[in-house]
């Protein structure tokens, strides 16, 4: 799986650097090309000679050779790699990465990198849980970087808790899995809807819902990472797609979302309708702001087009159609009814009764039900991880 892959490893000043020689050996055994860039402080924990011997490549530390002035190009190294693994990442370097500080060869190479970046924090328990560190991790994730989360265990300080860098064998598995799924959906067009719709009452008010769009955007990012051409039809949310392979179509109302989805569906191989579309819209929105002049105000609502049901009727052989069912009661029967009545290939059920699932959360807990009855239970995970499971299930059917 890794034969011929170009992997750049960035090492910072952390005791966990002692694990990197083993990681290099594992990557080399898989057939990967490995290069190393390290901070000056990292030399205190693992020697450049050891790393150079194992990688069979020179190890870069300084921006230039002080004896002859020759330049070590961070641009060339940043563009060389298929994957950049920053491991271990100290709290100091983590903060620099999040802030765009480039005061050594490693951080300048990170800023120049065009490839996916994985970062594996390693630090003491309290440093890892400090709000600044957690904010910096969130910032790096928002940039599209991939976190290799530290594990709980005995730390160099003698404390026990989170902050222990992941083991080399697990980092290898993560990198393997990344390349394995990179081309799962290559050549496929994936249509995804996300977020709420707003149905205008007047120019300043609307009927809407609490959807954040986080689940739909996570699906779009994961599908694009698998090589798909992604069209994301999104209602109004405070998010933006990070992957360059995502074509965003921004809409506001249910009618606009229906128009966009109907237009893109014909050429789509996979469609996942994750948006929370309004079932009803205001029949006659007021052209000007409604004044508070009466004790009671009656607004007439009209049924919106059922986008998912319409797509189910239009679905052709070879097209895969998935929907979401967010329920508050009688969850499973309602989801199964939706799966059958709307001619879906898959329904993703989640319940507002599950703690940490539903609107607004960064986590979700779902049950994936296929038209042939096969079910996959997904416990509470980040929406990013839930999206990966959903795409794994779909990819297995392609």
Task: Give catalytic residues, as residue numbers.
Answer: 209
**Token digits for 95?**
């903060």
Contact (CB, 8 A) for 365 and 372: no
Rg (CA), the chain: 25
Between CA 176 and CA 179 the distance in angstroms is: 5
**Token digits for 254?**
């249910």
- Of residues 256, 252, 304, the one with CA closest to residue 282: 304
Q: Is 167 exposed, middle or buried (0-12, 13-18, 19+ CB in 10 A)?
A: middle
Please tell me whether 342 is known to bind a ligand.
Answer: yes
Between CA 234 and CA 209 the distance in angstroms is: 14
Contacts of 89 (CB under 8 A, 6+ apart): 10, 12, 14, 97, 119, 120, 121, 122
The sheet with strand 320-327 has its strands ordered as 246-250, 229-234, 189-194, 270-273, 320-327, 346-351, 363-370, 375-382
Please tell me whether 338 is known to bind a ligand.
Answer: yes
Between CA 257 and CA 250 the distance in angstroms is: 8
Number of alpha carbons in the 13 Å side-chain half-sphere of residue 1? 14
Between CA 109 and CA 61 the distance in angstroms is: 11
State residue 149 phi and psi, 5-degree precision.
-65, 140
Between CA 226 and CA 222 the distance in angstroms is: 6
Please tell me whether 279 is known to bind a ligand.
Answer: yes
Query: Which residue's structure tokens are 């929105």?
Result: 285
Binding residues: 279, 289, 324, 338, 342
Binding residues for CTP: 279, 289, 324, 338, 342
């Amino acid at each position: 799986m890794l034969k011929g892959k170009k992997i750049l490893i960035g090492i910072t000043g952390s005791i966990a650097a002692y694990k990197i020689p083993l990681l290099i050996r594992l990557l080399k055994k898989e057939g990967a090309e490995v290069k190393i860039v390290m901070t000056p402080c990292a030399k205190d924990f693992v020697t450049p000679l050891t790393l150079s011997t194992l990688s069979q490549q020179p190890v870069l530390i300084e921006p230039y050779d002080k004896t002859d002035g020759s330049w070590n190009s961070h641009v060339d190294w940043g563009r060389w790699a298929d994957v950049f693994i920053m491991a271990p990442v100290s709290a100091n370097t983590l903060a620099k990465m999040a802030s765009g500080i480039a005061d050594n060869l490693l951080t300048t190479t990170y800023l120049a990198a065009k490839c996916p970046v994985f970062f594996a924090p390693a630090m003491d328990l309290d440093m890892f849980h400090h709000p600044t560190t957690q904010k910096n991790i969130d910032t790096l994730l928002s940039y599209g970087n991939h976190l290799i989360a530290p594990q709980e265990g005995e730390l160099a300080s003698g404390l026990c808790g989170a902050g222990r860098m992941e083991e080399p064998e697990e980092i290898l598995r993560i990198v393997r899995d990344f390349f394995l799924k990179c081309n799962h959906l290559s050549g496929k067009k994936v249509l995804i809807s996300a977020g709420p719709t707003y149905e205008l009452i007047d120019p300043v008010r609307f009927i809407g819902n609490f959807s954040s769009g986080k689940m739909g955007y996570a699906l779009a990012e994961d599908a694009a990472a698998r090589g798909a051409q992604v069209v994301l039809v999104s209602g109004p949310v405070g998010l933006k797609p990070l992957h360059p392979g995502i074509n965003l179509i921004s809409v506001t109302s249910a009618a606009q979302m229906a128009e966009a989805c109907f237009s893109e569906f014909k050429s789509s191989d996979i469609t996942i309708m994750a948006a929370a579309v309004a079932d009803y819209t205001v029949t006659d929105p007021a052209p000007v702001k409604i004044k508070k002049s009466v004790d009671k105000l009656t607004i007439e609502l009209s049924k919106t087009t059922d986008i998912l049901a319409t797509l189910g009727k239009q679905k052709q052989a070879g097209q895969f159609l998935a929907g979401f069912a967010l329920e508050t009661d009688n969850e499973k029967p309602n989801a199964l009814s939706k799966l059958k009545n709307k001619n879906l290939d898959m329904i993703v059920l989640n319940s507002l009764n599950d703690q940490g699932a539903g609107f607004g959360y960064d986590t979700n807990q779902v049950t994936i039900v296929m038209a042939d009855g096969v079910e996959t239970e997904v416990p509470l995970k980040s929406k990013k991880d839930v999206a990966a499971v959903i795409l794994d299930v779909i990819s297995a059917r392609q």
